Amino acid sequence: MIYLDNAATTRLDEGCLDIIKEYGLNNFYNPSALYRKAMESGNAIKTARNIIAKSLGAKADEIIFTASGSEGDNIALLCSLRAKSGKIVVGSSEHSAVYNTALELKVRGYDVVFAPCDKFGKTDLEKLAEILDENVLLVSIMHVCNETGALNDLSTISKLIKNKSPKAIFHSDGVQAYGKIAVNVKTLGVDLYTVSGHKVHAPKGIGALYCRSGIFLKTFVFGGGQENGIRSATENVSSIMAFADIVERSFFNIKSNYSKVEELRNYLADKLLSTFDNLKINTDIKNSSPYVYSFAFNSARGEVLVHCLEDKGIIVGTGSACSAKRSTKRIPQALGISDDYSQGMIRISFCESNTKSEIDAFISALSESLAELIKYQNKSVGKDDCILTRLKLR
């Protein structure tokens, strides 16, 4: 199988298995207990917190472990607001974890405004500047767009916010950036920053939220007071330790991995443009992370192509896996994609182990799949034909 949907999730690093076994079978103790073995687990978590903090250019007490990137986004938006009313600014191409939380804030009475993006998913700074004012309480703009790979200049956005909305808290969803590009939260100027483990070969069910010293967060989960009282729950020690191990072992390769993936992404882009005519490119390779590349056809549905490619042993995506179970036009509309292409979006997302030979195999399989679909479209069949129904052809 060729796997090209790493923005959805990554394959677990085999090195994590020994750690999960160690803290699941041997050192399985509750870190909050008072006996020695439990305290050793607590100390292990402190070590892990230091590792995650160092990878972000933060302090250990600024790191909150979460169950996912989505939970981190929810905590950032729902728990950082002190006032019960005011203006919230959110990017229009945000991940559903931020977008839908913003809609919940709107229900609660906040004035939620969605900042427009360009056709590649990058936040439009001029239009953002027009939206910002002294009434803004919170701004959430993602670092790397999970749909297109668009890279937002958080440092510039932070300065803009401080100039026009000095009281605003600045949050960024960094899930698609962390472990792929160098991140220093102090340099970026963010107050809150979300990361996730399963996007970087750590287990699912573990993430972290950076919360700058001085930013107050209300309690999200009530209980025993873990994670500074913000998110009470017995710590997921095995996943925390596996996450930290991945960061410590592999993050020093960020620059070399970036160069490798950038070459691979450019190879894919050239192959696509030289092979297909009816193609719309949704990624600006000059201003994006090389780990995500999006394009669309007007001759076939992305969902259908995903299944056709899967039958040929190749896994790709159509966009955010978190929204895969329900159709949405939000992202195509935010990007200004016409109806002809909006249903034909494909997202390729890499990890450092992908190869050019896999790209060649993908291009070949994609060509075959499109030819097969055109054949079925041109074939005169009844509306009850099982193939036509399964493929959902237009």
What is residue 64's three-state secondary structure?
strand
* Sequence-ordered list of residues with C-beta below 8 angstroms from that of 107, at least 6 positions apart, any chain: none
* Local confidence band at 383 (pLDDT 50, 70, 90 cut-offs): very low
* Local confidence band at 379 (pLDDT 50, 70, 90 cut-offs): low
pLDDT at 81: 96
Q: Are 180 and 258 in contact (CB under 8 A)?
A: yes
Q: Identify the residue with better confidence: 120 or 322.
A: 120
pLDDT at residue 386 is higher than 60: no
Q: Percent of the chain beyond pLDDT 90? A: 88
* Local confidence band at 262 (pLDDT 50, 70, 90 cut-offs): very high
Q: State the burial class of residue 193 (Cβ atoms within 10 Å of its Cβ: 0-12, 13-18, 19+).
A: buried
Reduced to 3 DSSP states, what percent helix, strand and coil does the chain have, rounded to the nearest 5?
45, 15, 40
pLDDT at residue 381 is higher than 60: no
pLDDT at 299: 80
* Local confidence band at 377 (pLDDT 50, 70, 90 cut-offs): low
Q: Are 204 and 197 in contact (CB under 8 A)?
A: yes
What is residue 126's three-state secondary structure?
helix
pLDDT at residue 176 is higher than 50: yes
Dihedral angle, C-alpha 203, 323, 302, 90, nearest 10 °: -110
Starting at the edge strand found earlier in the chain, the sheet holding 136-140 runs 63-66, 207-211, 192-196, 169-173, 136-140, 87-91, 111-115
Model pTM score? 0.93
Helices vs strands, H then E, count in the chain:
14, 12
Q: State mean pLDDT over 88-104.
A: 97
* pLDDT mean across residues, the chain: 93
Token digits of residue 23: 């803290």
Q: Give the model confidence (pLDDT) of 125-168 as tens digits.
A: 999 999 999 999 999 999 999 999 999 999 999 999 999 999 99
Quick one: which of 197, 32, 168, 38 has its CA closest to 90? 168
pLDDT at 390: 40
Q: Give the model confidence (pLDDT) of 34-47 as tens digits.
A: 999 999 999 999 99
Q: Give the model confidence (pLDDT) of 49-76 as tens digits.
A: 999 999 999 999 999 999 999 999 999 9
Q: Are strands 314-315 and 2-3 parallel, antiparallel or unpaired?
A: parallel
Q: What is each CA distance from 25 to 29, 42, 43, 236, in whole angstroms?
A: 9, 16, 18, 13
Length of the chain: 394
Write down the catalytic residue from 308, 322, 351, 386: 322
Q: Are 154 and 172 in contact (CB under 8 A)?
A: yes
Q: State mean pLDDT over 240-262.
A: 96
Active site residue 308: no
